[in-house]
């Protein structure tokens, strides 16, 4: 039960940082760096990964890829903010964790949740505040 409460709290905190970083009232880095660091902390807390040099390198690589993925909506590629692809790339950023011992099905599930979840959420929610809060929570899910 405590793990579920921690997980929900982490989702809420990521949601807040994602929105704050996109609001224009706070530094953008709250989203770009904050959410990926929260994700890496959750991975370390919930998945038994041996902290070897190789695995730490894979965690750092995943952190860097997550920072890159969360920092763009791919409008330069698609001509508009593509939240489906944004979520897909946020999920894809976790692939190096497979070599650190995270099961493949966790990564695949996260790719689906991020891409489909962020795409559908942004398509049907018309309020920017709720959209960004939802995408921030889905980034952790």
Where in the sequence is the domain holding 53, given as residue range(s)?
A: 2-140
Q: What is the spatial distance between Cα 52 and Cα 24, in angstroms, rounded to a whole number?
A: 39
Overall domain count for the chain:
1
pLDDT in tens, the chain (141 residues): 568 888 899 999 999 999 999 999 999 999 999 999 999 999 888 888 888 999 999 999 999 999 999 999 999 999 999 999 999 999 999 999 999 999 999 999 999 999 999 999 999 998 999 999 999 999 998
Question: Is the pTM above the cut of 0.85?
Answer: yes
The confidence score (pLDDT) of residue 71 equals 95
């Amino acid at each position: 039960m405590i793990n579920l409460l921690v997980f929900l709290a982490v989702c809420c905190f990521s949601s807040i940082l994602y929105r704050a970083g996109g609001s224009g009232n706070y530094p953008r880095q709250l989203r770009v760096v904050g959410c990926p660091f929260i994700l890496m902390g959750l991975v370390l807390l919930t998945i038994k990964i041996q902290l070897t040099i190789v695995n730490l390198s894979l965690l750092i690589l995943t952190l860097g890829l997550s920072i890159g993925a969360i920092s763009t909506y791919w409008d330069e590629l698609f001509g508009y903010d593509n939240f489906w692809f944004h979520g897909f790339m946020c999920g894809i950023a976790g692939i190096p964790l497979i070599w650190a011992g995270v099961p493949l099905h966790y990564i695949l599930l996260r790719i689906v949740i991020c891409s489909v979840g962020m795409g559908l959420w942004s398509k049907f929610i018309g309020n920017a505040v709720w959209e960004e809060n939802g995408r921030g929570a889905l980034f952790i899910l």
